[in-house]
Amino acid sequence: MPRRDQLLGPLPDAELAEPRPDGADVDEELIEPPPDENGDVSSRRAVTNGDLARMFHEIGDILEVKGENKFKTVAYHRAADAIARAPFDVAAAYAAGDRPPIPGGGTAIADKIAEAATTGRMAYHERLRAEIPPTLVDLLRLPGVGPQTVRLAWEGLGVTNLEELKAAAEAQKLRELKGISASTEQRILEGIEKLATRPRRLLLHRAQSLADDLAAQVAAVDGVARVFQAGSLRRRRETIGDLDLLVETDRPDVVIDRFTTLGVVDRVIGKGRAKAAVSVFRGPQVDLMVMPPGEAGTYLVHFTGSADHNIRLRGLARDRGWSLSEKGFVRIDDDGNALEGAAADPRTFEDEASVYRFLDLAWIPPELREDRGEVEAARDGTLPDLITLADLRGDLHSHSEWSDGVHSIEVMAEAARRRGYSYQVLTDHSQGLPIARGLFPDRVEEQREIIAALNARFAAEEAAGELPPGAHPGGFRLLHGCELEVSADAVLDYDADLLARFDLVVASVHVARRQPRDQLTKRTLTAIRSPHVDVIAHPSGRMIQTRDDLDLDWDAVFEAAAATGTALEINGSPHRLDLAPERARRAVSFGCILSIDSDAHRTEELDYVRWGVDQARRGWVEARNVLNTRSRDDVLAWVGGKPGRV
């Protein structure tokens, strides 16, 4: 158990989640807790970590609406996140005179904690709530709506919530306010419409961060043998509606009691003998199921899902005279009813492989469990040998501060080198994307000289045996590339002579996204058929839950990519994850080669390839289908051979 002076770091910036996505059923009846009352928490109970977190988050939100210094608002949100994740009762510690440090929080925040801990109230929080309606915070969720617009609408028209803002915009009242134009008013209406129809789910990386933290806290409870993450998160779906934890323990009551009192818990939805459901503060519903030691196999299969996959397995079990549930197999009679007593002959298994083997199937990776042919493949011995993160030898798509990245060329290269890569391709934007500070040809030449100097240093260090920790024993080279914009009229952003000098070129469509299908497809095919374009980056151009796919003739794209040997990217940014798995699988069926790239704009985003690999696995992709599983020499030879393949 961590010490009190070792508060955990901040929670992910989680979006709201919808209840129960696809997946396993939960058939245990829950014991509902009494509903919470609104009002002063001190009148009901002692201040909890969740109460403190709620207060500090609300302070940060209101200060944001007021337009206060960003660092000040962030400090309150960081304090709220740290308190929510603290493995001890923060208020009790402060009330006793002990003041453990709060990450990012100074004396002012500590004083406010002490005040709430001893009085059940926080004067500063109450004063802010009296100044500005907390409902105004919801308006900041609208795309493109900032604190100034919210403040103008409130002060000028008395707008306090989304409904009132929509009414004011529809009545064209907002444009009458100084500082809000007619175009801004229209964007607000469009944003409200998108917000109303957008699925409220967590992106994969945020769900994973939250699940890791919760699993670690539960694993520290006495009597816990193992904790498993299940549900759609284990299947690596692009977005996650809720989280599922399975706990192997011989002390289920202790585990459930501790789980429902974690600091991150905002509300206990239900609590039973073998299951509990909670909602976490500013996050999704989390379901926890306990299971006896040694019986995890069928629980894992059942609660990983998907529902369609589970239905197929239950059908196979029935065909063999068994009923399958999370608790194991029992025999059934001729009418399909489960037998009881000794006749039931119950079977449980410690691991999933044994469950599948009992059904005469090979173990099926969780990413494939969507009833899309995986059961037949497991029966016939034709499951794919799915790609792993360890198969990647480099990354073909990354940015530096020269365009829209954060870190320098050298810093990005060193980070890739220490990951054990053999190569990294620097692909800053081309001149046709000014919003990303795209490079004009003279800047490209300056960049080329820097890369050459870095590679000379790397070679000298390797020759001297001075490799940094984690570096590839065969050496590392930074390859010079670009992310080439394809203009609205299907013209490539650089001329052929310049493009021929790059080590590798990725091309993408960012502008004029609303063109008709034939024009958008023409632009993509122009890039694919160029002898100088090697990879099509994030081919659909989507942003998950915020921006739709490009309307392309996908079969035409796959056919051209296969014919020319142009790779199609699976972009690992968790906001993109593009190609979608269904398209990746179809691309491979056409004979296309893929790449899996980070699209990193800062060093920590180099880790995004992990999400790209997950996406590829969901698309049945093997290492042999992916370009950057090849050696540096092989990749460069492949690039050099493209003109002959066009």
With bands split at pLDDT 50, 70 and 90, how would you rate the model's confidence at 151? confident
Q: Which residue has the higher pLDDT, 258 or 136?
A: 258
Calculate mean pLDDT across residues 480-497.
95
**pLDDT at position 35, please?**
36
What's residue 49's pLDDT? 83
* 165 has pLDDT over 70: yes
State the Rg of the chain over Cα.
Answer: 28
- CA torsion sign for 143, 148, 153, 154 is positive
Tell which residue, 313, 308, 311, has the closest CA to residue 355: 313
pLDDT of 554 strictly over 60: yes
Question: What pLDDT score was predicted for residue 645?
Answer: 62
Residues 6+ apart with CB under 8 A from 229: 211, 212, 215, 243, 244, 245, 246
Asked if residue 25 has pLDDT above 70, the reply is: no
Tens of pLDDT, residues 449-477: 999 999 999 999 999 999 999 999 999 99
3-12, 399-408, 504-513: segment of lowest average pLDDT: 3-12
Return the structure tokens found at 318: 């029935």
389-645: which CATH number, 3.90.1300.10, 3.40.50.12280, 3.20.20.140, 3.90.1150.10? 3.20.20.140
Contact 426, 481 (CB under 8 A): yes
Say which range, 38-52, 89-103, 434-448, 463-477, has the weakest mean pLDDT.
38-52
Domain boundaries, given as residue ranges, for the chain: 45-197, 298-380, 389-645
pLDDT band per the 50, 70, 90 thresholds, residue 523: very high
Per cent of the chain over pLDDT 90 is 67
| 36 pLDDT tier (thresholds 50, 70, 90) | very low
**What pLDDT, on a 0 to 100 scale, did the predictor assign at position 134?**
74
Strand 567-571 vs strand 594-597: parallel, antiparallel, or unpaired?
Answer: parallel
Measured from the Cβ of residue 108, the count of other Cβ atoms closer than 10 Å reads 12
pLDDT at 45 over 60: no
Does the pLDDT of residue 321 top 50, yes or no?
A: yes
* Mean pLDDT, residues 105-118 taken together: 87
Hey, which of 163-177, 325-339, 357-371 has the most confident mean pLDDT? Answer: 357-371
Between the alpha carbon of residue 586 and those of residues 451, 579, 590, 592, 594, the distances in Å are: 37, 10, 6, 9, 11
- Please choose, from the candidates 443, 392, 453, 432, the residue with its C-alpha nearest in 3D space to the C-alpha of residue 616: 392
Inform me whether the pLDDT recorded for 583 exceeds 50: yes
Give this prediction's pTM.
Answer: 0.82
Structure confidence at residue 364 (pLDDT):
98
pLDDT class for 400, splitting at 50, 70, 90? Answer: very high
- Res 646: pLDDT: 58
Check if the beta carbon of residue 40 is closer than 8 Å to that of residue 54: no
Q: How many residues does the chain have?
A: 646
Q: Is the pLDDT at 13 greater than 50, yes or no?
A: no
Local confidence band at 18 (pLDDT 50, 70, 90 cut-offs): very low
Alpha-carbon gap, residue 257 to 265, rounded angstroms: 12
pLDDT at 198: 60
Quote the CA–CA distance of 404 and 396 in Å, as a whole number. Answer: 17
Whether the per-residue pLDDT at 261 is higher than 60: the answer is yes
Average pLDDT value for residue range 494-513: 95
What is the predicted pLDDT for the residue at 58? 87
Pick from 642, 483, 484: which is nearest to 563 by CA? 642
Please name the residue that has the structure tokens 């030879």. Answer: 637
Rounded Cα distance between 621 and 413, Å, is 28
Mean pLDDT, rounded, for 294-323: 96
- Give which of 476, 491, 487 is closest to 631, Cα–Cα: 476
Mean residue pLDDT of the chain comes to: 89
pLDDT at residue number 46:
76
Same fold, 45-197 and 389-645: no
Angle, helix 147-157 to helix 162-170, in steps of 10 degrees: 80
pLDDT bucket at 89, cuts 50 / 70 / 90: confident
CATH 1.10.10.10 fits 298-380, yes or no: no
What value does the mean pLDDT take over residues 87-95?
A: 85
From the options 2.60.120.20, 3.40.50.2300, 1.10.150.110, 1.10.10.10, give the CATH code of 45-197: 1.10.150.110
Q: For residues 516 and 287, give the distance between their C-alpha atoms in angstroms, rounded to a whole number.
A: 45
Highest-confidence segment of 23-27, 37-41, 331-335, 451-455? 451-455
Confidence of residue 531 (pLDDT cuts 50, 70, 90): very high
Q: Which residue has the tokens 């042919």?
A: 373
pLDDT value at residue 345: 94
Are the CB atoms for 301 and 321 separated by under 8 Å? Answer: no
282, two tokens: 């500013």
Most confident stretch, 66-70, 372-376, 431-435: 372-376
Q: Judge contact between 626 and 612, C-beta under 8 A.
A: no
Closest listed residue to residue 526, CA positions, set 501, 544, 508: 508
Average pLDDT over residues 205-232: 95
- Per-residue pLDDT at 640: 93
Largest pairwise CA distance in the chain:
82
